[in-house]
Structure 1
Amino acid sequence: MHPAPSVILFTVLSGAGFGLLVALGLGLVLPSGWAALWLWGLGYGLAVAGLMASAFHLGRPERAWRAFTQWRSSWLSREAWGAVIALLALAPVALSDWLGLGWPRMIGWIGAGLAVATVFSTAMIYAQLRAVPRWNHWITPATFLAFMATGGAILSGQGAWAALLCLALAGLLVIGWRIGDTRFAAAGSTMGTATGLLRGRVSVFEAPHTGDNYLTREMIHVVGRRHARKLRMMAVVCAGVVPALLMVVLPGIWGPLLAAPVHLIGAAAQRWLFFAEAEHVVGLFYGRR
């Protein structure tokens, strides 16, 4: 599928932002004063910036509010509600940390759970799509949640725990690609099933239309195998290996300060591949698979 920059920014930034908010809400780090203002502001800033970036992918952004009306059946709607409620629920905890009010952190645990549910809902928007076999697997929500946990651990300065999560994420990425590369063939979709011509070998004689349309622009994207290998290596090294080393070797604030941007670069590379390598079955109808 076409890797839209707005959706890549949305999933990368909001995942890291909600991960930091989860760490703060659970009390894994207990900042106060200006340090609390900085950390909570960073978490809110990344989460909100990602959510705002997603609006640029909409054909009619002014109708974005309608996403809130379909929560019974739409993971997109559940994501929208989860994001708003999580950000509101965590606000009192952020205020308490900043001003030293000493309010109970139980609301922070609830907000952290809602933040996790929000990222899970984001992942399920893609994992539910049977028309994209590479996404239609448990590895999709697992990867989104792993990026959230790893980004949050790095940004909150969890040191050795962040390093372990980085290495676990790198391993999960490799497993995800191994599984994803076989999903389209395992789904059993062919040009015959796409066209309804189930007898004999089906091939494309001529394109169904002379120009591009929405399906060919958005649902069909081909990435070179050599290019994909380089980006996969970049994602593993930048999202996992290098941040793990930085979090262990560098003391104090320097580990998170240098590991976070490297991790986000790796996350962006993985997320670009997430969309670019997603083989939609509609490509069979056009002879593109």
Structure 2
Amino acid sequence: MVETRAYVGPEEAQFGDYVALLKPRVMSLVVFTAFVGLWIAPGHPDPFIAFCSVLFIAIGGGASGALNMWYDADIDAVMRRTQSRPVPAGRVTPQEALGLGIALSILSVMMLGLTANWFAAGFLAFTIFFYAVVYTIWLKRSTPQNIVIGGAAGAFPAMVGWACSTGSISLESLLMFALVFFWTPPHFWALALFMNNDYTKAGVPMLTVTHGRRSARRHIFAYTLVLAPFALWLGVTSVGGPLYLAVSVVLNAMFIWGGWQIMRRDETAAEGDGYRVEKRYFRFSLYYTFLHFLALLVQHAMGGW
């Protein structure tokens, strides 16, 4: 663990600081995938139950964010990208972040069980545990495979949403999981390429730190090739259709081409131009997942195969 003083207060916390603890920007895509999983599943609940289910999944996601900020306050204080977060900036104490995370975890799981079903609630509880304990406490600081295995935490919510409607797991929900799971490493490794100094200072063993940027570039391209078949496979299931399949073909072609460009980059050139290619690829990766799930939603409204 990095030796640094995580909480540097005192500063008076504002309401927005407690909202920031929940990582609303990071969790927004997670909540959207959960909503899509819930809505396109067979036998989806009435709109009020659906709204409440998504709300409690969102609260559970926020709880994970608060627990992450509690444990990672020391390395957040070192990294330029995260120094202004409420705990390292001294506006919220680590104890407050921990307390909020635990309280919201219990609230979200209990209320989802009462609103939807207890299978979905148990799945949400496991998702929170996986992100807070398996990824944040164990994997993140111990292995360069941190984001590979830990990426499951961001991939589970689509399955949780599906479980809210069906009380079960299916091929469709597993493929939605795979779409997010195999997208996560190239997404974060692209970020790590131009934020590598931060991860090095914080002692986080990202692949770019432990194996170098060149290895990370090759891994990014390899994962785009692994990802594409799962994304396309989803298009020929009961939730897919011609619109989704067309969107997926275009997005995966662009994602693979971007990964190829990154792999072929000269490291000296990358330093010289400020990592424009990597930053552009990272931004596109945000749209990649959002547009896939949006296409599923529109395809559902239009009717599938």
* TM-score bracket, shorter-length normalisation: 0.3 to 0.5
Q: TM-score, normalised by structure 1?
A: 0.47
Larger radius of gyration: 1
Which of the pair has the greater relative contact order for Cα pairs under 8 Å at 6+ separation?
Answer: 1
